[in-house]
Structure 1
Amino acid sequence: MRGLPHAALVLLSAALLSACAPKGIEDLKTFDHPGGDVRSGSLTYAQRPPAGGPHNALWQTCGVYDQPLYDEYAVATLARGAIWITYRADLPAEQRVNLRAAVKETPKLLLSPYPGQTSPIVLTAWNAQLALADAGDARVAAFLEAYEEGKTAPLQGAPCTGGFGGTR
């Protein structure tokens, strides 16, 4: 791809990433965020929670968090192929337990509350998002299966350990 202008490379990368996106999950939303846009400071995103776009160079360490995360670090983790599951603070404790059980075998994962989220639960991977009302929904497993390898992520295969481990 040597000799192609940067804009052409970005468009080609976005096309290749979206071609890898799984089909068939009802109500799945997909986006076209190219990778490689690393910035510092506070950023604004088109989706909340964000499903890709500019992000900090430092990523959020994968894990389960009881407090909200910085979008900029979480998006950097999405870029590394992780799945980010967010929930409203008023999600019943039983639903949170069900989410934790559903994701316990998913190594590249963030789980955290997300302030102001309209849906009770949102599953997010790079360029893909699914809003759900219930942790027992069969689409949780379908989403995890479709995106756990990070096929749509620009930094697929990069680790999500050793990053930022705090919360906002």
Structure 2
Amino acid sequence: MAETFEQRLYALIERHQHATPEGLTRFRALGDAAWVVRDLGCDHQIGFYLDDIQSLMRSYGVRPPVEQATSPFWWLWPDKCLVYRDFTIAELKEVIRTKTWPDDAYSWEEVGFGQKIASLSVMLVLVALILGLLGLAAWWLTHWLQGRG
């Protein structure tokens, strides 16, 4: 028997422990009118919603409405951030049925200077780590080749 969208959603929530048992019971009782984030009453809303729900929707052939990249280097110095609104279970079922996101599914929010600096810092640390590992490998290789010769 194939799992329904609700069964997969509830299993996803339970597996990642994003809600208390009481919260999940209340969430299930609301049925199609339940808001996926708001009615769970959990602390892990953002990560759960963006990562897990989008993966679940992809399993039904539903792609995000737009790519997050606003420029070729959005990951280095992001100007705007794609933000999805909360959906009810009924709305998500409709998106799955039609494979079309509603016009108000997302918005673009400006990224503050602090977040831009944080993104740049993460990228610089990553580049330094990669260069360090490559330098270590080159050093080891030259010493190994000198030892053989």
Give me the TM-score of the superposition, normalised by structure 2: 0.25
More helix by share: 2
Structure whose residues are more often strand by fraction: 1
Higher relative contact order (CA 8 A, sep 6+): 1
Q: TM-score, normalised by structure 1?
A: 0.23
